[in-house]
Structures are given as C-alpha cells and as structure tokens.
Amino acid sequence: MNEKLLNKEYLKKISEIQKHNKAYYDKSAPIIKDSEYDKLKKEIIELEKKYNFLKNPNSPSLIVGFKPSKNFKKIKHRVPMLSLSNAFGIEDLENFEKRIINYIDENKSFKIEYSAEPKIDGISASLIYKNGKFVTGLSRGDGKEGEDITENLKTIKDIPKDIKEKNFPKEIDIRGEVFIKNSDFKKLPDKFANPRNAASGSLRQKDPSETKKIPLRFIAYTFGYEKDIKVKTQSEFLKSLEKWGFKINHLNKKITGVDNLIKNYNLIEKKRDNLDFDIDGIVYKVNNFKLQKRLGNVANAPRWAIAHKFSANSAISKILNIEIQVGRTGALTPVAKIKPINIGGVVVSNATLHNEDEIRRKDIREGDVATIERAGDVIPHITAVDKEKRSKNSKQFIFPSKCPSCGSETIKDYNFITKKKDAVRRCSSEGYECEKVSIEKIKHFVSKEAFNIEGFGKKIVENFWSLNLVKFPEDIFNLDYNKIRNIEGWGGQSVSNLKYSIDQRKNISLERFIYALGIRHIGLENAKLISRHLKSIENFLGLSKIDNYNELLNIDGIGETQIKSIKTFFKNNTNLKVLNNLNEILSINNSIDLKKDGLLKNKTFMLTGKLDGMSRAEAKSLIEENSGSIVSNVSKKLDYLIVGEKPTKRKVDYARELNVGILNQSQWLKMLNKRS
C-alpha cells in the first residue's frame, strides 16, 4: 500500500479514536458501542505493527484512555497503567512468543509459562492500600495520571476496605476491572447503551450516593506499585488476591505452549455467551515476575503480556460508491461508502479498501454486495464481494492516475528493499502544492503529538482553510482574530481561548517541531533521534545548506529511507520558506539529553556479534538507561565497540585503525558494575 494512503488512513483513525476517547472518558457519553471502539483501536495498532513509519502521539499504542476529567482531582499513578498489545490468531501469538524468546536470547525449545486470564469488558481502576487500608482509588485516566474516584469506588462491596492478612504488602496498588453483570444491567433504567458504559458513567458521578445505586462489581488481576510483596508469579498473586478478600476470575489458568493457549481460547469463546459478564478476549501474561521485569515495556505496553481478542463480527451490505481520500503524505486511500449496517452493535457506513492492488485482487466494484468485517478493533474492511449478485452493467473500478485534489500525476515509489513498487499510489506534488495534502499537513501540525494546540481540531483547520485564514503552518501564529470573531459560532471568549492556546505553543521542543513538519517516514521516535543528534534548530536548518545528510546515518534507527525523505523535504522551496518563517516566529528549544548522570555519560557505543545471554535490544536499553548513546557506524565519534561472538571483522579492524576502544561483553558490563 502507498505510504501516503496508509498514513492518511492511519491519521483518520487516530482522529476518530481521539473523538471517541473524549466522548467516553471525558464526557461519559459514548457515541459508539464498545465493540466498535475496540475494533478501531486494533486497526490502528495493526497498522503500526505492519508499517514502522506510522507513528502518532495520540495512538493507543502510546497513550491510554484520555486525560483525566476536570470534574475530579488528578493524581499521578505511582506506576503507569499500561495498555496491552493485541493478538487475533495463532500467528500473532507465535510471533509474540518468538519476540520474547529472541529478546531474552533463549533457544526455540525454551518454554514460557503463561497466566491466561479472560479479559472483562469493564473500566480499569487502581486501588491504593497503605497498611492494609484502602486510602485512594484512581481511574486509568491517560495511564500516567488518573481521576480520584475514591468515594465512588468505596461504594463497591467487592472492594475490601481494611485487610488484616499478615502477608498483605505494606503498600500496594491493586488493579482490576469495575463492571456490571449482564443480569444486573437489565434491571437498570434505560439510560446506558451497554454494561461497560453503565460502569463508566456510574464511576464518574459527582455524587457517590448516586453511584451506590448501581450494582458495580470489581475483579482484581494485577498490581502497580508494591512494597514487600512476597509472591514470585502471577498465578501465585491471583491466589493471594483471593485470600486477601478480592474477587478474581475463576476462568484464569496457568498454561504453557501456544497450542494450549489456542485450545483454552476456543473453550472460553464457546462459554462466552453463557457468562453473566462481558469478556472480549483473553490476556496472556508471562507468569514469572522475574522474567516480566527483565522483559520490561515498549512505549505504553508491556513486552510480557498480550490480549487475544475474540473472533471478528461481519455483515453483508451494498457498496454505494468508492471515494479516494488524499492524506498528509500524498497517499491515495480508497474508501467504500456502504449502506449503513449494524455490525456487533455498531453502525458501519465506511469500509477501508486499503489500496489499488487490494481492489484489483478482490475485484471490488461500486454496486457490489460485499461482506464487511470488523476484526477485533480493526477498521471495517471488505473481505469479499458476491459476484453472482453483481449487475450486468457493473464496471471495473479504475484507480485515478491523477490526484483528485490537485491533478498531479499519481506515482508508486520503488522500494529498494523489496525490489518492487509500493502498493500505495501517491500524489506526486511536494510541499504545499496539493490542497488536500496541505490541509492534512496542518491538521498534523496542530495535533497532540506535534504542537498540541488545544481547541484547534481538524474541523477548525478545514473551516479556516476555506475562509483563507490558514494556508501554511505559520498562518496559525498570525491569525486575524477580529475576522474570527465575526464567524458564526465564535464568541469573544472562544476567540480568547484559541489565542491563548496558540500563544502557549510558541515555545516548543526541537523534537516536536521536527515531528510537526510532517516529513514522510519521520515519526515522533525518529524526530527524537534526529533532535538528540543535531541538538539545535540551527543544525537542523543547516542540513539544507551543507548537504551533509549522511551525518544522519550515525543515528541508530535512521536509515536511507528517512534520509531520502528529509532530502526531498529540504529541496522544496515552499517547505524552506515555511521552515524559516516558523523559526522567526517560534522559540524552538535545543534538545536536552533525557539522562545526565549515568555511568556511560557522554560515551557512544556500537555492537557487533552475538552477546552471551543477552539480546542486542537488551544491551541497547542498558546503554541508554545509563546515559550512553548508540551509533550504527564505526567512526572517530565512536568511543567503544562492544564485541560479541562472531563479530563483523571489517568493523573490528576499522575500529582498531581509528583507535576506538574495543570491549568484550565482560569488560562492558564491568563499566556498569555488572557481571556477565
């Protein structure tokens, strides 16, 4: 699929999930069913797994939930409440296990014991206990900071208020799910869409006496912060929870082997309709806490756990027409507009067609009767069309050879890795020459991970564009507020709020600035790498003057694809004009190293060969955790080359020639006061 098309589809999904997060977590007024939300979430995460260039700070892979409501006091979680990666079949589970084994550098015969726990479709909560007493209860919030809903949680009978057991930790955050049984939900007044929404709305009542009227339940399954916990495995912890007076899910099992996980999954799915509470999958956790700690986390999800979602929902509908959408990177994405149909409790009117090749392979046409599938959180897509029901006058869909926005030629880039042309077709215009691309670029510029201008959403971008108020990013900081006051729907206070939000964002970090530019293949993580390497906006702007882009090859994680995109960006005169204008308006802060006092401070490292009992990913993490940095090439800027088994001889020889320090694994670990 074309990267521009993919990115457009991806950003559209991000925007959609943000809207639903706000409606659900902030307004307690969901506008879609929870199953529809879950599918959307999965679709985003699946796209990110398949295409590394898709990154967004508002992605469910990076954030959890939504910022805490202003109605409640905000409290930081002592240990973040992470989300989970999703699996949808045996291949995903096999890959999950392979990643674990590769990370800890074990052979294929290594057996991993899992705790398999049915995932209740409720609302996450964290209960803080000190000396056995329940003192504070928090919602998940955004994963880092939650709402203080203590008084509402105290109304739940399943939550012990005072625990006398001797082996109960001095301090611990017990985490679990608040939910409503289906039988109890049927007795409630008809004001909630489903049990999950009822639980959410009840927990966020301002008056605990109103919450008390709702039959809320609580099942515990994990912990966050802990002090003096004695158990060594998740299964032991679950047993302890029950002894301490918490309810646990009695469908929990200890299982070894992916095949056995699948067998258990199939058994649970058959029982699903007979349960008195909703479950939407099974969570698999590495059972051993020591191994969990070693595996650690990626972004906002643990490496040691995954949620196996239940099978997809599907339905039959008619394709009314096929629209081509143009994304920020110029990708042309086909979307089928279908006759609205209810799938798993959600009304679906759009289905992604992915790309030109997908349409051709499945021979999808306007007017076709199609099977629409919503596979566990993935955006609805068409799995097949019924050709027997096709009209005799049906015509094959012809993908446009010219951009529907600006009329430029559409192209498919050649991928030098696969030696094939990309599946995604793109608008060939660069910079801000294409209207649709420009609008999407500005939407990206103001988005949360970029400038995060509150109150400047995509609808406002589109409106201001149509009114000629904003055509380039710098226009945002030079708005005519007098004109805005005359626009319908804008009052004096809303204009003042917008001006305040924009003024607050005139000071920005270099990494967020680079990300906000929307350079193809430069997501937030790559922007961080570039900013840490270049340090200042002057050095970034200097790339176009000195044409020394190969300097970026020294950044681990930045390759030729990213460098090519940066070159293309700087060659466009409009982009350069935008950059210079923004630099005059904004205060762009130099990059600051995240860690300053580690044992490897100001030292650069490179790895070659296989390490003993440690994967390369673990080694890099150790270096970065101790303030060291990783480079991908041997040069005079390299301080140490760490050599494992079967190293690349050329790298070792070149390091010696440049008098670079060469360390074996033991010598390197001694620098960290560790033993191999």
Residues involved in catalysis: 119
Which residue from 241, 249, 120 is spatially nearest to 180, judged by alpha carbons?
120
**Looking at residue 318, what DSSP letter applies?**
E
Question: In the chain, what is the straight-line distance between the N-terminal and C-terminal CA atoms, in Å?
Answer: 45
Give the long-range contacts of residues 206-212, CB within 8 A, separation 24 or more. 206/71, 208/151, 208/152, 208/154, 208/155, 211/152, 211/155, 212/155
Give the long-range contacts of residues 563-567, CB within 8 A, separation 24 or more. 565/519, 565/520, 565/521, 565/522, 566/519, 566/522
Beta-carbon contacts of 526 under 8 Å, excluding residues fewer than 6 positions away, are 55, 557, 558, 562
Distance (Å, rounded) from C-alpha 607 to C-alpha 620? Answer: 9
H or E segment and range at residue 413: none
Which residue from 617, 525, 549, 508 is spatially nearest to 102, judged by alpha carbons?
617
**454: how many CB neighbours lie within 10 A of its CB?**
15
What is the SS3 assignment for 80-142? CCCCCEEECCHHHHHHHHHHHHHHCCCCCCCCCEEEEEEEECCEEEEEEEECCEEEEEEECCC
**Alpha helix ranges (H) inside 447-572:** 458-466, 481-485, 492-504, 510-516, 524-534, 537-541, 543-546, 560-571
Structure-token pair, residue 412: 């498919």
Which residue from 295, 286, 300 is spatially nearest to 103, judged by alpha carbons?
295
Distance (Å, rounded) from C-alpha 206 to C-alpha 204? Answer: 6
Residue 152 one-letter amino acid = N
Which residue from 296, 295, 307, 253 is spatially nearest to 113, judged by alpha carbons?
253
Residue 162 one-letter amino acid = D
Strands 507-509 and 587-589 come out as parallel
Distance (Å, rounded) from C-alpha 393 to C-alpha 403? Answer: 27
**541: how many CB neighbours lie within 10 A of its CB?**
16
Distance (Å, rounded) from C-alpha 263 to C-alpha 285? Answer: 17
**Alpha helix ranges (H) inside 542-608:** 543-546, 560-571, 573-585
Which residue from 567, 629, 635 is spatially nearest to 598, judged by alpha carbons?
629
Distance (Å, rounded) from C-alpha 141 to C-alpha 63? Answer: 10
Distance (Å, rounded) from C-alpha 641 to C-alpha 604? Answer: 9
CB neighbour class for 675 (10 Å; exposed up to 12, middle 13-18, buried from 19)? exposed
CB neighbour class for 466 (10 Å; exposed up to 12, middle 13-18, buried from 19)? exposed
Structure-token pair, residue 346: 């959600």
